[in-house]
Amino acid sequence: MKMCLASEAEVKPETTKIERIKVRSIQDAEESIVGTEVKVNGWLRTVRDQKQFAFLNINDGSSLSGVQIVVDGSSGSYDTAKSLTTGSSVSVVGTVVKSPGKGQKYEIQAKSLHVFGTADQSYPLQKKRHSFEFLRGIAHLRARTNAIGAVARVRSSLAYSTHKFFCDRGFVYLNSPILTASDAEGAGELFQVTTLPVTKPEDIKTTDSGEADFAEDFFEKPTFLTVSGQLSAESYATALSDVYTFGPTFRAENSNTSRHLAEFWMVEPEMAFADLQDDMANAEAYVKYCINYVLENNAEDVEFFSKFVEKGLMEKLETVRREPFASISYTEAVQILQESKAKFVFPVEWGTDLQSEHERYLAEKHFQKPVFVYNYPVGIKAFYMRLNDDQKTVAAMDLLVPGIGELVGGSQREERLDLLEKRIADAGLEKEDYWWYLDLRKFGTVPHAGYGLGFERLVQFVTGMDNIRDVIPFPRHPGNAEF
């Protein structure tokens, strides 16, 4: 009996699929890549037609510089190539060759060209320099520029190195809640979340005092977007020893400065069986680790920032990762500032918080490197910070860095129940709202410490970018929730 087999016409020979390769992988490759056939996808930065050849510069976002594509005039893709414009998206298959041009090791001789999408002359990122202010108005496209693309890559590296630093040291990653009934800072600058019919206030039930009756709300109490994951982290640290949170936080501070965002990311480790010295040591090691990682893995981006954004950035970062941080008490800091010849807008007095101008003077002028300031007056710090024996200061610390001011704020936490209850009352907060937080002091309390690092400020410090709105993909600030 004859078996039914597929006819020869139906049998298709196997074809070798050319896998896409990232531009950076080509740039970092050994010379053995020469002669290899590759496929590159990306967006055109420039197109040059020189009659016999068309030169395309393609960037896929994996590196600062793109890769040059050479399309021969005799190629069937030549007419298509020379008609393309900046911003068009393409796929090129070709052979890697050594480049005779300066500033690039390799280029690709195109064999085929596929156009995903064209960009007409209204494309706003033509080949010229654009102000950061202009780019904020087109935040959906600005990552295609050199500066914002480099910021995104550095930010990604800093996020990766954050997780790696803590995980390598046995910390447990904690996802703290975004919705909360607690004000961790006691500052009251919170975004309230409600399902009450705010567009029809006449339909909102009120209490005898005339206030909205939140018993009718979704959570049956006033609820907010979190300003910090710290209190949650403390809870888990008293079970798992070392934990950290890394996520978005929110503050309804009506500030339109270049230093503030309404939505920002915080890195917040908490360590059980730790004091203020342990806290500062961990913070210094973490900052140095992140900077070292970026210098090792984002050298091209850092060199770009050092050349075009902050002169001497590379040297600053090298100093930070090489030299130990300075450390002084708040009292010593006040004395240094008072004895300096600098003219400050805000007067310096013991008992008042240091302003940005004071912080930057200490880091940029006096020490010329990062400096810890510790043991702050009790009256200017949060309720959860441990009261020192002098009854005047708390075991708090801030890390001040050049160009930014405060990068890290932390403390040893108050582990003594009676003192914590008094601090909550003194802050005007309701003890009942923190019943679970107080439980941590009732059941096996331990000395513990932690800190918070504003992630966008770290990105600013490492890139030299002046405005915090340029180091987060889609900034949120008063009057702006676009994109």
Q: What is the per-residue pLDDT across 34-80, written as a single tens digit (0 to 9) for each?
A: 999 999 999 999 999 988 999 999 999 999 999 999 999 999 999 99
Q: What is the arithmetic mean of pLDDT over 170-197? A: 87
> How much of the chain, in percent, has pLDDT values that exceed 70?
95
The confidence score (pLDDT) of residue 16 equals 66
Residue carrying structure tokens 């003219």: 343
Is residue 212's pLDDT more than 70?
yes
Q: Rounded to the nearest 5 degrees, what angle is found at the Cα of 277, between the Cα atoms of 173 and 455?
A: 40
pLDDT tens, position by position, 399-457: 999 999 999 999 999 999 999 999 999 999 889 989 999 999 999 999 999 999 999 99
The confidence score (pLDDT) of residue 1 equals 43
* DSSP-derived 3-state class of residue 449: strand
Q: What is the arithmetic mean of pLDDT over 162-177? A: 98
Q: Choose among 42, 103, 134: nearest CA to 126.
A: 134
Band the pLDDT of 13: cuts 50, 70, 90: very low
Band the pLDDT of 186: cuts 50, 70, 90: low
State how far the Cα of 55 lies from the Cα of 36, in Å rounded to an integer: 20
> How much of the chain, in percent, has pLDDT values that exceed 90?
85
Band the pLDDT of 128: cuts 50, 70, 90: confident
The confidence score (pLDDT) of residue 371 equals 98
Q: What is the arithmetic mean of pLDDT over 250-274? A: 94
100 by Cβ neighbours in 10 Å (0-12 / 13-18 / 19+) ranks as: exposed
Q: What is the arithmetic mean of pLDDT over 151-178? A: 98
Q: What is the arithmetic mean of pLDDT over 127-143? A: 94
Is residue 316's pLDDT more than 80?
yes
Is residue 170's pLDDT more than 90?
yes
Q: What is the arithmetic mean of pLDDT over 253-272? A: 93
The confidence score (pLDDT) of residue 348 equals 95
Let me know: does 130 contact 139? Beta carbons within 8 Å.
no
State how far the Cα of 391 lies from the Cα of 422, in Å rounded to an integer: 13
Is residue 4's pLDDT more than 50?
no
The confidence score (pLDDT) of residue 12 equals 47
The confidence score (pLDDT) of residue 188 equals 62
pLDDT tens, position by position, 339-392: 998 999 999 999 999 999 999 999 999 999 999 999 999 999 999 999 999 999
Q: What is the arithmetic mean of pLDDT over 273-297? A: 98
Q: Where are the beta strands (DSSP E) in 292-392?
A: 326-329, 371-377
Residue carrying structure tokens 């890390």: 399
The confidence score (pLDDT) of residue 403 equals 92
The confidence score (pLDDT) of residue 8 equals 43
Is residue 119's pLDDT more than 60?
yes
The confidence score (pLDDT) of residue 51 equals 83
Q: What is the arithmetic mean of pLDDT over 464-476? A: 97
More confident residue, 398 or 209: 398
Q: Choose among 112, 66, 21, 99: nearest CA to 57.
A: 66
The region of weakest confidence among 4-13, 61-70, 96-105 is 4-13
Question: Which stretch of DSSP H or E encloses residue 330?
Answer: helix 330-339
Is residue 83's pLDDT more than 90?
yes
Let me know: does 116 contact 89? Beta carbons within 8 Å.
yes
The confidence score (pLDDT) of residue 6 equals 40
The confidence score (pLDDT) of residue 208 equals 86
pLDDT tens, position by position, 223-246: 999 999 999 999 999 999 999 999
Q: What is the arithmetic mean of pLDDT over 290-317? A: 97
The confidence score (pLDDT) of residue 185 equals 62
